[in-house]
Chains A and B, each alone.
Chain A
Amino acid sequence: MVHKMPSGTDELIADLADAIGAGRVTAGGAAREIYGRDSSIIEGGHSGPVCFPESTRQIAECVRVAVAHGRDFVPRGAGTGLSGGAVPCNDPVVISTTRMNRILEVDVERRIAWVEPGVINLDLSRHLAGTGLHFAPDPSSQQACTIGGNLANNSGGPHCLAYGVTSEHVAAIEVVLSDASTVLLGAEVGDAVGYDLRGAFVGGEGTLGIAARIAVRLTPDPPVVRTLLLDFQSLVDAAETVTGIIAAGIVPAALEMMDRNTVEAVENFVEAGYPRDAEAVLIVELDGLEEGVTHEIKIVKRVGNENGVGTVRVAADDVERELIWKGRRNAFGAIAHIKPGYYLHDTVVPRTRLAEVVAKVNEAVERHDLIVANVFHAGDGNLHPLMAFDPREPGVMERVYAASEEIVRIAIEAGGVLSGEHGIGLEKRGFMPLLYSPDDLSAQRALRDAFDPVGHANPLKMFPTGSSCGDVMHLAEVPEGVWV
């Protein structure tokens, strides 16, 4: 069915075109089809006109026109989000930042880069090649996702274990608010005066405004990097090793775990040399200065041995190291080798309870007759249980939703939280009361309303609300033959 735009849309489109140029606005069926979704399994979003501003002023114009027409606006980067944060509800103006992809300034000495929000994560680090610096947040989608999107979701990635999530790497942000005004939050240098509005804005999922220019902090490249691959015959042993490494006072650059199903799927694609007969594989990356790294390798090996590790492989060179990481980064997609569809969860639990939680999650998913694969940031307890299924199978989605709810409850009961890095979006807004009391949520509401008192910035995201989002459910139908 072709969705019809609400009345007044023609005038809206005309005003947007007047404001930022007709070549930067599109409202055809194709655009609305594409911009009606992100990389989550949430279906049923409906975008209004889609804008491609090329400057802060043009972003502000888009916002001004949208709000003047009583419409909401939804900021969007590359659309790689997994929680439906960029899925438009009620035909809003979608503001895509993809044409704002310039790296404006790199200050090597002060280790700051000013970028536009549409700069692709990996492009920044590539641009920095030769300076000895890089941008630390490295979500698995870093080839495609934008820095604006990273900021909106406070994204993580394997290396945020040692280097911290996006917020720690954002010094200042130029923000367009829902009244179309522009404000600079944070500061390049010094302790910013007053409330940390920069910190409050990061992770706001586009509900607080739109980042138009971002000053990111750059991290020096470590002189020595070693990547280890450990395999185990039991998931519990692998989890105990994780706990043991942290307890030994080591914070590795990254500490990732993959279970048997994941390894099986990934090996089909990359042939990274992960041992296929292992129940669990750990990737441990150690970096820093020579002596420290050598010392830490010894400790990791010792802790592994104490927990029945099979083999410990240290990547011999950059090519082998890159292959190991390529496997890890592509783990989700590779699940298609098991089943055509998947639904990925993102929860965090205390890292000392990993083994117990993973066992419970696996039991719950399998009880619903679904295949489960686990690939996750073990070092900080950030689980990514993934249910593989064939969406064409009748009734499968009901089982997926039921299992999802159990996964979330298991995590919360273990003292965990709803999301570690993918955010709440539409996907988990219904679960917020599991973690937060009404008073907790009121405090969050107070923060949101301070930024967007009129409520036009990406509404209906993050909070449980009675209002519907068109025909979007908190977890809606999966399209037939879904590949994502």
Chain B
Amino acid sequence: MSDLEEFRNEVGTTGSVCVKGGGTRWDVGGEVGQGVRVVSAPSGIDAYDPAEMTVLVGAGTTLTALAEVLAEHRQEVALAGPVGSTVGGALAVGWNSIRRQRVGFARDALLQAECVGADGKRFKAGGPTVKNASGYELCRLLVGSLGTLALMGRVILRTTPIPEWSLWLRGSVTPADVVKSCYRPASILWDGSYSHVCLEGYEADVQREASALIDSGMVKVQGPPSLPPHRNRLTGDLPEGAILDVAIGVAHCPEAAAIQCVDPAVKCIADRMKANFDPHRRLNPNRDPYSVPA
């Protein structure tokens, strides 16, 4: 509890403030301006009961540190990010894992968030249990909000079991054909010529599905291909050098796509949301979840 209180004090009640995690995706949605106070969320794992499949963790904890602890009990979370990313950063950006079909959406991983609001008061969103329909879905609103509504200090995440077996295959089988011969591949990536498929589950099942793909010309590979840095929603043809995450419909591209105009009706709700949570626009100023390629 003490570190949360410290976090609240750091955020304070006035002046522009941003919270920085690993800084690995610091430019998503625009960089914060000059003269903005930078604070850090608490880090460390506060409670973890593998049988409950939830973990209480400081938002400043790195994904790697969390993954290490969870892996001891063969569990993981749905969050994804480059080396050095923090839990809070991954939630604020809200990108889904390429293994989304296996681990789920990032936004569904957040069960509870203890936050500091723009008024400098602490509040709690969601609840500690794996299922909760008590009140509004604030947690989902916070994921992907780039810290513009509130600053997350400590969160409870849902964990999932790490599969017994996992392997990647690559070959010219189309994603549509992969889907036909596999039940629920953890990931299907498509680079325009080749599919990169991740199969996960029990060893015998994975091997059986893999052998069907191998029969159609796919080969086992070490892991996923390296992904280009920019995430664009796929509209039209897949650009040169891009890799499509088939399940999510996101294209990992060498170039950032143009930022699309937001439907004014959506922007209208978003603006009211921002005004209601942060009327003086002091939280992560200049960062805008709508200023991302679409």
Contacts and interface: CB of A to CB of B under 8 A. Distances in A.
Interface in A130-182: 153-154, 156, 160, 164-165, 167-168, 177, 181-182
B270 A197 contact: yes
A203 B262 contact: no
B137 A251 contact: no
A88 to B, nearest CB: 21
Contact of A196 (B140, B162, B260, B277): B140
A202 B273 CA distance: 16
B141 A196 contact: yes
A288 interface: yes
Interface string A463-484: 0000000000000000000000
Contacts of B289: 193-195
A423 B133 CA distance: 5
B50 A247 contact: yes
Contact of A154 (B133, B183, B204, B270): B133
Nearest to B266: A183
A393 interface: no
A164 B109 CA distance: 11
Interface stretch (B10-18, B61-69, B123-131): B123-131
Interface string B33-67: 00000000000000001111110000000000000
Contacts of B51: 243, 246-247, 351-352
Nearest to A251: B161
A418 B104 contact: no
A291 B137 contact: no
Of B75, B233, B250, the most chain A CB neighbours within 10 A belong to: B233
B105 A183 contact: no
Given A168-B105, A350-B52, A440-B124, A435 B134 contact: yes
A289 B266 contact: no
B94 A288 contact: no
A109 B265 contact: no
Contacts of B260: 193
B94 A191 contact: yes
Contacts of A441: 135
B269 A420 contact: no
A288 B123 CA distance: 40
Contacts of A191: 94-96, 144, 231, 233, 248, 250
A204 B125 CA distance: 15
A381 interface: yes
Contact of A420 (B132, B176, B273): B132
Contacts of A417: 127-129, 132, 134
Contacts of A446: 273, 276-277
B191 interface: no
Given A289-B183, A436-B124, A196 B129 contact: no
A255 to B, nearest CB: 12
A189 B144 CA distance: 16
Interface in A409-440: 415-424, 428, 432, 435-437, 439-440
B269 A415 contact: no
A189 B105 CA distance: 13
A450 B276 contact: yes
Contact of A450 (B52, B96, B130, B269): B269
A295 interface: yes
Nearest to B53: A246
A380 interface: yes
Interface in A328-347: 346
A153 B136 CA distance: 10
A273 interface: no
A53 to B, nearest CB: 19
A442 interface: yes
Contacts of A448: 136
A223 interface: yes
B183 A288 contact: yes
- Which of B122, B127, B263, B270 has the most chain A CB atoms closer than 10 A to its own CB? B127
A187 B125 CA distance: 24
B130 A250 contact: no
Nearest to A247: B51
Contacts of A250: 161
Interface string B259-294: 010110110111011011100000000000110101
A291 B208 CA distance: 10
Contacts of A164: 104, 108
Contacts of A160: 131
Contacts of B121: 439
Contacts of A453: 272
20 contacts: A182-B265, A193-B289, A193-B292, A194-B266, A194-B289, A200-B136, A203-B133, A220-B183, A243-B51, A247-B50, A249-B75, A292-B205, A380-B131, A428-B134, A439-B121, A440-B123, A444-B138, A446-B277, A449-B272, A462-B135
Interchain residue pairs A-B with the least CB separation, the first 3:
A199-B140, A189-B249, A190-B233
Given A197-B273, A381-B130, A440-B125, 11 more contacts: A154-B137, A164-B104, A168-B108, A191-B144, A195-B289, A196-B141, A223-B183, A348-B132, A439-B121, A443-B115, A450-B276
